[in-house]
Amino acid sequence: MKITLKIWRQKDSNSKGAFKTYVCDHVSPDMSFLEMLDVLNNDLIRKGEESIAFDHDCREGICGMCSLYINGHPHGPLQTTTCQLHMRSFKDGETITIEPWRAKAFPVVKDLVVDRSAFDRIQRSGGFISVNTGGVPDANEIPIPKKIADEAFDAATCIGCGACVAACKNASAMLFVSAKVSQFALLPQGKPERKERVEKMVAQMDEEGFGACTNTGACEAECPKGISITNIARMNREYFSAMTTSYEVAVGGGE
């Protein structure tokens, strides 16, 4: 295969970026997208040119690092991670445009690499369980309906890649945050801190500069793990319930 690549090059977050065109000959249809970029980088290094910076780690569709915006879609034309996308998904002679995630809260570090530490700060703000429960009981001793367990597990499969943010016209992080809220709010272990958790995580999300959700559903359509937007509805219920309680406590304390 012969592929033409239009790749975003940007020295750092303070520099002005631009697209640069590269032509790749002898691309195997069985190559993963990242392997194709590896081959291109090897060619650039041999020519004495600077290689293209892009994020990657496990290359098994687990870590969520391979955040590339390909031909107008996060991770490319298939609902999968970039590392699991293969060149057989493209045609011989095709032109492929590759960009970094575009979001205020995800500033470009270099080329195709963006800083997604905003997700880490949201997680640290409350996306955990800190209640001391003493000795750890056997998991089977806590009866949890299968439907609830399945919903919690589905929410927990979020890998934090940021495709939902990249797909959203508002750069909203609602799908990510709602998945992290849901995975604990659904289970008995997470219920003692559910109100404090959702208040802190939503507040941190807003502070990071993510946009609002307008329910277009693009996040769900592009999510490589198929996280459902029903989690957003659940998070909204959790948040409004928590805020109502906080207001009642504040009013009651004022009296």
Distances (CA, A) of 255 to 46, 72, 244: 75, 55, 17
Percent of the chain clearing pLDDT 90 (strictly above):
87
Query: What is the total residue count of the chain?
Result: 255
| Tokens coding 23 | 């032509």
Mean pLDDT of 169-178: 98
Distances (CA, A) of 70 to 81, 85, 189: 11, 11, 40
Mean pLDDT of 175-203: 94
Mean pLDDT of 56-74: 96
Tens digit of pLDDT for each residue in 87-141? 999 999 999 999 999 999 999 999 999 999 999 999 999 998 887 656 666 666 7
Domains of the chain: 3-110 (3.10.20.30), 117-254 (1.10.1060.10)
Give the span between the Cα atoms of 155 and 136, in whole angstroms: 23
| Residue-averaged pLDDT of the chain | 93
- The pLDDT value given to residue 122: 97
Distances (CA, A) of 213 to 6, 230, 232, 241: 31, 13, 9, 19
* Cβ atoms within 10 Å, residue 248: 10
Confidence category of residue 255, pLDDT binned at 50, 70, 90: very low
For the chain, the three-class secondary structure string (H helix, E strand, C coil) is CCEEEEEEECCCCCCCCEEEEEEECCCCCCCEHHHHHHHHHHHHHHCCCCCCCCCCCCCCCCCCCCCCEECCEECCCCCCCHHHCEHHHCCCCCEEEEECCCCCCCCEEECCEECCHHHHHHHHHHCCCCCCCCCCCCHHHCCCCHHHHHHHHHHHCCCCCCHHHHHCCCCECHHHHHHHHHHHHCCHHHHHHHHHHHHHHHHHHHHHCCECCCCCCHHHHHCCCCCCCHHHHHHHHHHHHHHHHHHHHHHHHHC
Q: Comparing 6-15, 129-138, 155-164, 237-246, which segment has the lowest mean pLDDT?
A: 129-138
Give the span between the Cα atoms of 106 and 210, in whole angstroms: 9
Tens digit of pLDDT for each residue in 199-233? 999 999 999 999 999 999 999 999 999 999 999 99
Q: Is the pTM of this model over 0.85?
A: yes
